[in-house]
Amino acid sequence: MVVDDHPMWRDGVARDLADAGMSVVATADGVDTAMRRAAATRPQVVLMDMRLTDGDGATATREVLAASPESRVLVLSASDERDDVLEAVKAGATGYLVKSASAAELLAAVQATAAGQAVFTPGLAGLVLGEYRRMASTPNESGPALTDRETEVLRLVAKGLTAKQIAARLSLSHRTVENHVQATLRKLQLANRVELTRYALEQGLE
């Protein structure tokens, strides 16, 4: 689903996605419309602008995810302002891409988001991680204890690396990495890699 208040941009993005073989189940121009159409269509990925006709992208992200919890939101915005990026992530967005991205970069980002990866325009991931690191300067003593290896894998998951890439980076087998990911999900009582990434950001892991 594509959510943007500019019809020409919205229709153009939807057309590019369709031309690449993706199914665009809906489009919307505002918070209310996005929420209703997400509830009706249950899109796998929602491309979300930060400026909408009746509100902002962060509010729309919260409403869309409440209506369709299994959806993943990838913000596609002209703004790369720190506050916009952080608000989007806090609202539940999986990633943030600026509109200067090429069509190929957009398609790759949508595919990565659908696969559960966190996607950010270069430079923005560091901004988000840095902000959450400052917010998390006091460790959460009541949190579950992760092993050093699980924490290392968690940091790499938060950076958007796949299990195969993590395995190569740490000289581990693919199965071992997946076992660490699953063990971490169980300990943190999280459902998937998207929630794992969000947890890592909230804890200030890098």
Q: What is the pLDDT of residues 99-158, one digit of tens each?
A: 999 999 999 999 999 998 888 887 776 666 565 555 545 455 445 678 889 889 988 888
Residues 6+ apart with CB under 8 A from 138: none
Alpha carbon of 54 to those of 8, 31, 39: distances in Å? 18, 6, 18
pLDDT tens, 13-54?
Answer: 999 999 999 999 999 999 999 999 999 999 999 999 999 999
Q: Topology of domain 2-121, per CATH?
A: Rossmann fold (3.40.50)
Beta strand pairing status for 51-52 and 55-56?
A: antiparallel
| Chain centroid offset of residue 48 CA | 11
* Sequence spans of domains, the chain: 2-121, 132-202
Q: How high is the pLDDT of residue 116?
A: 85
CATH 2.60.120.10 fits 132-202, yes or no: no
What pTM does this model have? 0.65
* Pairwise CA distance, residues 65 & 111, whole Å: 19
Tell me, rounded to whole angstroms, the distance of Cα 57 from its chain centroid: 13
| pLDDT tens digits, 128-140 | 656 555 554 545 5
